[in-house]
Amino acid sequence: MTTLGIHHSTNLMNASEDNKKGYWEDNDFISFNDDLLRRTGQLWEEPKLIKTDELLMLAEEKASEASSLLKDKIENKRITCLKDPRLCNLAPFWKQICKINRTPYHFIASYRDPLSTAISIQNRDSINAEKALSMWCTYYINLLESVNSGELKLVNFDKLLTETRHEIQLLSDFLGQQILEEEFKIYSEQFLDINLRHNHQSLAPENPIEVVSSKIKSSLDSYNIKATPDERKNELDLASLRNSLIQANRDLSDDSSASKFKDLFAVHYKKSEELNAIQVELQKTRIELERIKSLRKAARKRYSETIEQFNNLTKTIWWKAASPLRLILSSQRDRSNLRALNSRTKAESKPD
């Protein structure tokens, strides 16, 4: 993105020992997307085959917050890059938010050999390779099902390392952004490193999930080269891949116990959020009540002091001597107020 003069968002995730070049993912964006995933019964490591209608309803519910975040990240920049792999599972949501805000958008996804990716996930997150492969498949099936022709450009990560100029030129053409030669030189000669490919595997697929992942990779390989994509054929191919993935991992089926558990998790999460919101409001109410009590206590103290001063005044000879004059000069309302005040001084104070 930098080679094309495209700004990254702010508050990026720090680099780590696993990824010393940095992740380039926005912490605020990730946090918001994690919340969205939980509301649909997912975690980043526990994805599900998404339902578009569910995400569109969520977009209506969270439109204000999502729009505010989007505007904050874009600011006044002409084009901004927001990176987060969770977008694969949330594309319909963010497409809708962009449409609400009349914000043009494109999706760019990189990919490499699924087994290599699975081993990287296994080493980094202690997730077994079979589950990691299922995650990989689910992410890309969700992405491919969520985008229309012309909205997505796929970048082969291995080709990016070996055919850098060609891959960047494809992105340049897709986004209509000129390559900045100085930035490209820094990127290709200093930033890119063959060691960025932490694992490289090209074994023949054996078990069902490996076979499915191989088929999905083939679909990704051919995605960019389709001159005039046949939308109907694409739908059928994706439906076939989805069914194959479900056969390889029955937990992804809507009828599975795992799927039902995710639905319950979503309900529980929403209820917890509602309860937290109620608790926050109750705490605000308690604070306001304490503030009011404090103000009333201070007011009672000032009132008592005033009454005491008044009582002391009424005991003076000057007050008694001026009684006829006060009677002549005071209005009917003044006399009424005075009687009420005298009555109040005689009554015992009552606690609130």
User: CB within 8 A of 175, min separation 6: which ones?
Assistant: 4, 6, 79, 106, 153
pLDDT one-digit tens code per residue, 85-104:
999 999 999 999 999 999 99
Distance (Å, rounded) from C-alpha 132 to C-alpha 201? Answer: 14
Residue 298 CA to residue 1 CA, distance in Å, equals: 62
CA distance 171 to 179: 9
For the chain, report the end-to-end CA distance as a whole number of angstroms.
66
Averaged in consecutive runs of 10 residues, what is the pLDDT profile of the chain (352 residues)? 91 85 92 96 94 96 96 85 95 97 95 91 90 96 93 93 94 95 94 68 74 94 76 89 95 92 89 83 87 88 86 82 72 66 58 52
Render pLDDT for 290-310 as a digit per residue (tens, 0 to 9): 888 898 888 888 888 888 888
pLDDT for the residue 253? 94
Specify the pLDDT at position 144: 95
Element (H, E) at 33: helix 27-39
DSSP string, 206-274: -SHHHHHHHHHHHHHHHHTT-SS--HHHHHHHHHHHHHHHHHH-GGGSTTSHHHHHHHHHHHHHHHHHH
**Residue-level pLDDT at 270:** 87
| Nearest to 155, CA basis, from 168, 140, 138 | 168
Q: 128 Cβ partners below 8 Å, 6+ apart?
A: 122
Q: Name the nearest CA neighbour of 292 among 225, 247, 352, 211.
A: 352
Task: Calculate the average pLDDT of the chain.
Answer: 87
Look up the pTM and report it: 0.77
Q: Residue 70: how many CB atoms within 10 A of its CB? A: 20
| CA atoms of 347 and 339, how far apart (whole Å) | 13
Q: Which residues contact 121 (CB under 8 A, 6 or more apart)?
A: 127, 129, 132, 135, 136
